[in-house]
A and B are shown apart, each in its own frame.
Chain A
Amino acid sequence: MTPVHPESPGGTATPAGVASFVQPARSAEQAADALRVRIQTEDFDLGEELRALRSLPSGDLNPAIGAVASFVGLVRDINEGDAVAVLELEHYPGMTEKTIEAILDQASSRWPLQAIRVIHRVGRLHPTDQIVWVGAASAHREAALQACAFVMDFLKTQAPFWKKEATPQGPRWVEARASDDAAAERWKPSSAS
């Protein structure tokens, strides 16, 4: 697995259900952001990531950013009523990066963002570990907050990751939740324009 996914020069494949209602458009800054999507086994430091998200290629902080929204998903110690000792995360290399890139393109076309990034860990994790991070930076808070929620909702329902958890009853694959599908549905326009 590659810690850094290089940007593909052309448009990325869009997952079904996302492509149907927004056209992707990526700004020059974001096209240059080779660190937009990272799939890695290693942990990450939130302070460092937030600073990098706010930084221009020169290394200076981007003064146009007035709001940063950041979401961190963590391994819980209980799932479906059972204690979880270990969480194993598997993914589909290649498709994972393409899918998340497409979701970030959708977010960038819906909201005016200065930067948006995702880190998702794979491999063996334990309760309290960080699993996923989404950072969205914009001039104003509404765009940052909404883009962050949008990316998480689509990542959960479209990106090819699977969780297997070790419980006292033995290992089991985590089942997809209908509530996650419902969360992604809310971003679709109620009437086609």
Chain B
Amino acid sequence: MTNAGSIRVKFFASIREFTGVAEDRLPISDTCTVADVRAALAARGEIWERCLGPAAVVRAAVNQEIVPDDHAVAVGDEVAFFPPVTGG
């Protein structure tokens, strides 16, 4: 039985620019991973697929910590997607 809820999703740099979205909410089931969230977003359309699909080089952070794709995501989490960092 799924307990419907949502997460906050954030996009940075080229992903934010190409999708035109900096922040959004996404409904999730209570059992999901970063990979599930990424796949759901990639299914939004061609640009989303190009930015977040399997061929894209993307880093993910859950609650502001970089995590691997199999990391669990819970209702209320902040999940961010961005390209490899280029500061300094």
User: Which residues of A pack against B, CB within 8 Å?
Assistant: 13-16, 73, 89-92, 94-95, 98-99, 120, 131-132, 152, 155-164, 173-176, 180
Contact = CB atoms under 8 A, between A and B. Distances in A.
A159 B87 CA distance: 7
A16 B61 CA distance: 10
A16 B64 contact: no
B64 A98 contact: yes
A92 B67 CA distance: 15
For B13, B68, B84, the residue with the greatest tally of chain A CB atoms inside 10 Å of its CB is: B13
B81 to A, nearest CB: 11
Given A98-B64, A164-B13, 20 more contacts: A13-B63, A13-B65, A15-B65, A16-B67, A89-B87, A90-B13, A95-B80, A120-B88, A132-B87, A155-B88, A159-B88, A161-B88, A162-B12, A162-B13, A162-B86, A162-B87, A173-B13, A173-B14, A173-B83, A175-B84
Leading 3 A-B pairs by shortest Cβ distance: A161-B87, A176-B84, A162-B13
A164 B61 CA distance: 21
Contacts of B82: 92, 160, 162
15 contacts: A13-B65, A14-B65, A94-B64, A95-B80, A99-B64, A120-B88, A131-B88, A156-B85, A157-B85, A159-B87, A160-B87, A161-B87, A162-B12, A163-B86, A180-B88
A164 B15 CA distance: 12
Interface residues of B, number: 21
Interface of B: 10, 12-14, 16-17, 61, 63-68, 80, 82-88
Contact of B86 (A92, A120, A152, A174): A174
Contact of A163 (B16, B65, B80, B87): B87
A156 B12 contact: no
B65 A91 contact: no
B14 A161 contact: no
Contacts of B64: 13, 92, 94-95, 98-99
